[in-house]
A and B are shown apart, each in its own frame.
Chain A
Amino acid sequence: MKIHNLLSALLVLTACSNNVIQEETPKILSIGGTTTETLAALGLMDQIVAVDITSTYPESIAEKQNVGHVSQIKVETILAIPGLTHVVVQEGLLPEAIKSKLDGIEILSVPLEFTTQGAKHFISQLGKAFEKTATADEINQKISSDLALLPKVTADCNLLFLYGRGAGAISAAGKQTIQNAYIEIIGATNACAAFDGFKLLSPEVLAASSPSHILLFDHTYELLGGAEGIAAIPGIRATAAGINTNYIVLESSLLGNFGPRLGEAALAISQSVQESTLKL
């Protein structure tokens, strides 16, 4: 078992450092929304044969086989994908226990740090692995040029990212999340910086975090019942965001991925913040 682990770890290492993979056309299982979006942007759409449930961009990805949620993925599901040669995954998403059992399949596990540099590094790594270094550089340049256009948002803009499947289960994004990274990139403050990851918020903590703007996925916004539904969440009406209905709603793959459209997403958030400030 140990040797097995070592071997697969070696495989990962070689895959990361070597830039030669393509002996024949790879058939890729891509895991993670950012991973899939990056591979597609690198021009590898045709090589992707299967994705996980968080891979929703580009839209045409819906035609590929879907292996479900990564936390519930089974070894057999992966092995059953016909002709699969590569599993490309954002580091930390696929459990070691599964990786160690994927004999004969190359696993490319790439770390994604939630900073602009981290995202660019992720894109470069994937580009290098599939000999698309030039495309990767172009993507990274686009990110830089988008971010150069970013208007200054003052730090007293307090953004709160809410995620939830219902009125009783609203979580907020703390540190170490993609949405926290976006909030920092545009120069605003995360209203919930007291914890890491996503946590369920009690009404009092929500009220006390006093956000000036609330950031949401489009599907969360619809699920909660739009502006009216959000106003009904206990605690919201005590906040400036709730009083002024400052809700910034973005497409979930734009706000949930942290890859090629990083600059675009940051621009969209920052513009919405500015528009709502003008409205006042």
Chain B
Amino acid sequence: MTASKKTTISLFLLVLVLFISSLKYGAVKLSLSTLFVGEASALQEYVFWQLRLPRSLAGIGVGCLLAVCGAALQGLFRNPLVEPGLIGVTTGASAAAVLVISFGSWLSLSAILGGLLLPLAAFMGALLVSFFIYKLSQSAGKSQIALLILAGVAVNAIFGALTGFVLNYSSDAALRSFTFWAMGDLSGANWLQVAIILPLAIAILTYLSRNAADLDALSLGEQAAFHLGVDVQRISIHIILLTALGIGAAVAFFGAIGFVGLVVPHMVRKIYGARNAVIIPISALLGAGLLMAADLVARLIILPAELPIGIVTSLIGGPFFLWLLIQNKKKLA
């Protein structure tokens, strides 16, 4: 058995352990054996079926989506520092979601689209930012990371301010708090959200895994990819659409959870090398694991209250990002 196969198996086991732990641990004491063979109280049944299970499944879906979308965007922009949160895609999605909650009823959109309204709006917001940022980075001929990150700072500032403004001037109860939109929260996950997020994660994962070779070719530059027979235009548009959809849905339901899309593909690349056919599925696995682990910390560390999950992921991701920057600096020097 090769070393990477062993790593994959242990990773898989780790995710399984995390999934079981995330079902078992929380504010309410649960014993999984009494739930399935013994007699559990009504409270325990409720907590397991209506709170824990959807929450854990949402964690898997969101972790997988964020990591895979991060990997795909890094491939598309040909730069390892691209992350949906850093280039403003996440904030774009938040702002669109907040706007739609405030004005959606006024436009009677919610009556037509129902539960799909919010993810669709967030998708539009994410899409808008993705296209803008992509066009901006293209116009320079080659990918310019400084431009990209600075544009991300500006986009984040604009949409962050917009979100804050709407939150201050709207009294709509569905709006939730600014912390939710900035830091994320899995605690309210329900089955409807799981039913949307999980299939979406699987669909995006499947598409990107199948087209991993094109992403590899893209990393050589658009010209080279074109000569290798890749339809660059088509794959670029697909990646932008899919990542916007994935990030949009994740943000609409669970807020902006930062740095997962950055940290996970990097770790995977360190261990498995640069082939996207490996990076993408393994990122999905590691992303799911990381998010469930972060969610466990968030829900257990300050009982009876909970930390927003984004605080945990940012505490892991922020230093990691700095480390990456330092590494890059050394390379350039």
Closest chain A residue to B42, Cβ basis: A238
In the assembled complex, how far is the CB of residue A106 from the closest CB belonging to chain B, in whole angstroms?
A: 35
A167 touching B304, Cβ below 8 Å: no
Tell me, yes or no, whether B164 is within 8 Å of chain A by CB: no
B176 touching A169, Cβ below 8 Å: yes
A208 touching B27, Cβ below 8 Å: yes
Interface of A is mostly: loop
B42 touching A204, Cβ below 8 Å: no
Count CB-based A-B contacts (< 8 Å): 82
Tell me, yes or no, whether A237 is within 8 Å of chain B by CB: yes
Closest chain B residue to A199, Cβ basis: B305
Please report the C-alpha to C-alpha distance between residue A110 and residue B164 in the assembled complex, in whole angstroms. 36
Tell me, yes or no, whether A16 is within 8 Å of chain B by CB: no
A168 touching B50, Cβ below 8 Å: no
A207 touching B28, Cβ below 8 Å: yes
- Of the stretches A6-14, A83-91, A119-127, A222-230, the one at the interface is A222-230
Given contacts A195-B304, A200-B305, A234-B187, contact A225 B47 (CB under 8 A): no
Closest chain B residue to A171, Cβ basis: B305
| 8 Å CB interface, A199-250 against B | 199-205, 207-208, 210, 223-225, 229, 234-235, 237-238
B27 touching A204, Cβ below 8 Å: yes
Interface residues of A, CB < 8 Å — how many? 26
Contact of A205 (CB < 8 Å), options: B27, B42, B175, B188: B27
Tell me, yes or no, whether A1 is within 8 Å of chain B by CB: no
Tell me, yes or no, whether B1 is within 8 Å of chain A by CB: no
Tell me, yes or no, whether A255 is within 8 Å of chain B by CB: no
A166 touching B188, Cβ below 8 Å: no
Contact of A223 (CB < 8 Å), options: B50, B173, B176, B190: B173
B46 touching A237, Cβ below 8 Å: yes
B46 touching A238, Cβ below 8 Å: yes
Residue-wise interface mask of B (174-206) relative to A, using a CB-CB cutoff of 8 A (1 in contact, 0 not): 111101100001011010000000000000000
Contact of B185 (CB < 8 Å), options: A168, A207, A208, A224: A168
Contact of A166 (CB < 8 Å), options: B42, B176, B299: B176
Tell me, yes or no, whether B303 is within 8 Å of chain A by CB: yes
Tell me, yes or no, whether A194 is within 8 Å of chain B by CB: yes
Tell me, yes or no, whether A192 is within 8 Å of chain B by CB: yes
In the assembled complex, how far is the CB of residue A239 from the closest CB belonging to chain B, in whole angstroms?
A: 8
| 8 Å CB interface, B31-64 against A | 42-43, 46-47, 50-52
Tell me, yes or no, whether A165 is within 8 Å of chain B by CB: yes
Closest chain A residue to B303, Cβ basis: A205
Please report the C-alpha to C-alpha distance between residue A193 and residue B174 in the assembled complex, in whole angstroms. 28
Contact of A229 (CB < 8 Å), options: B27, B173, B190, B303: B173
Contact of A210 (CB < 8 Å), options: B43, B172, B188, B190: B43
| 8 Å CB interface, B263-312 against A | 299, 303-306
In the assembled complex, how far is the CB of residue A161 from the closest CB belonging to chain B, in whole angstroms?
A: 15
Please report the C-alpha to C-alpha distance between residue A200 and residue B175 in the assembled complex, in whole angstroms. 16
In the assembled complex, how far is the CB of residue B305 from the closest CB belonging to chain A, in whole angstroms?
A: 5
In the assembled complex, how far is the CB of residue A210 from the closest CB belonging to chain B, in whole angstroms?
A: 7
Tell me, yes or no, whether B80 is within 8 Å of chain A by CB: no
Please report the C-alpha to C-alpha distance between residue A224 and residue B173 in the assembled complex, in whole angstroms. 6
A168 touching B177, Cβ below 8 Å: yes
Given contacts A204-B27, A204-B51, A207-B47, contact A169 B177 (CB under 8 A): yes
Q: Which residues of A contact B299 (CB under 8 A)?
A: 202, 204
B180 touching A237, Cβ below 8 Å: no
Tell me, yes or no, whether B26 is within 8 Å of chain A by CB: yes
A194 touching B173, Cβ below 8 Å: no
Given contacts A168-B180, A169-B180, A194-B304, contact A202 B175 (CB under 8 A): no
Q: Which residues of B contact A167 (CB under 8 A)?
A: 173-174, 176, 188
Contact of B43 (CB < 8 Å), options: A199, A203, A208: A208
Q: Which residues of B contact A204 (CB under 8 A)?
A: 26-28, 47, 51-52, 187, 299
Q: Which residues of B contact A166 (CB under 8 A)?
A: 172-177
A203 touching B176, Cβ below 8 Å: no
Tell me, yes or no, whether B233 is within 8 Å of chain A by CB: no
Given contacts A207-B43, A208-B27, contact A237 B50 (CB under 8 A): yes
B43 touching A238, Cβ below 8 Å: yes
Tell me, yes or no, whether B171 is within 8 Å of chain A by CB: yes
Q: Which residues of A contact B176 (CB under 8 A)?
A: 166-169
Instruction: List 11 A–B pairs whose Cβ atoms lie within 8 Å, in order of A's numbering.
Output: A166-B177, A169-B177, A194-B304, A200-B306, A202-B27, A204-B26, A205-B27, A205-B304, A207-B43, A234-B50, A235-B51
Known: A169-B180, A194-B304, A207-B51. 5 other contacts (CB 8 A): A195-B304, A201-B304, A202-B299, A203-B188, A229-B173
The 7 closest A-B pairs by CB, nearest first: A168-B176, A238-B46, A204-B27, A169-B177, A205-B304, A202-B306, A166-B173
Interfacial residues, chain A to chain B (CB-CB below 8 A): 165-169, 192, 194-195, 199-205, 207-208, 210, 223-225, 229, 234-235, 237-238
Interfacial residues, chain B to chain A (CB-CB below 8 A): 26-28, 42-43, 46-47, 50-52, 171-177, 179-180, 185, 187-188, 190, 299, 303-306
